Every structure is written in C-alpha cells, then in structure tokens.
Amino acid sequence: MAKKTETQHIGNAIQELLKSYQIKNKFDEANLVTSWERLVGKPVARRTKKVFLRNKVLFVELDSPTMKHDLNIHKAQILEVFQKEFGKETLGEIIIM
C-alpha cells in the first residue's frame, strides 16, 4: 500500500515550523529590522543609527535632524509600506528618534 504524501509550498512549511517552535514573532521582528534599508532606501539607511522593534513598535534613531523631520512627515506612508510587507500583527507604530 503506497503512502499518500501531502505536498506544500516551502514558505508555508517554514511558517508552520516557526509557529510550532513559537519563534515566528522573533523571526518576523528580525526580518523587519533587516529590511529597513531595502524598504526606505540607502540615503535614509545611511543616516540611521539604530533600528529596533519592541512590542509592535519600530524605533528608528537618525543622525540627521532634517531626515528626522522628513520621516516624521511621511511616517504614515512608511508604516503602510512596512505593514503591507509584514502585516499589522507584526508592526503597529513607528517612532522616529
């Protein structure tokens, strides 16, 4: 008697594995932080001193007051981009420091 095997996409398998080990949230947080440069661009990333995520809040520290002002103006759009990429369950707010 042949065994019936269920196939699934590798991405789904990895997500299920992360959930089963209860590390999905940490993985998503690390992935979000490492995606900062890709999603905001190199000019902003060069002026970024720190990026970290705590309790669904992304904290971004910049070394340029002008860049800080500009990002605060566009914070809603940046949040939207990150939420589209990672979901609202991973990121709820951005604080520019």
Q: Please state, in angstroms and rounded to a whole number, the distance separating the CA atoms of residues 84 and 10.
A: 21
Query: Tell me: the pLDDT tens digits for 43-83?
Result: 999 999 999 999 899 999 999 999 999 999 999 999 999 99
Count the Cβ atoms, other than its own, within 10 Å of residue 35.
15
Q: Specify the pLDDT at position 64.
A: 93
Query: Tell me: the pLDDT tens digits for 10-31?
Result: 888 888 888 888 887 788 888 9
Helix (H, G, I), strand (E, B) or coil at 54: strand
Read off φ and ψ for residue 66, nearest 5 degrees.
-65, -45
- Rounded to 10 deg, the angle between the 24-34 and 75-86 helix axes is 130
- CATH 3.30.300 at 10-96, yes or no: yes
Q: Specify the pLDDT at position 80.
A: 96
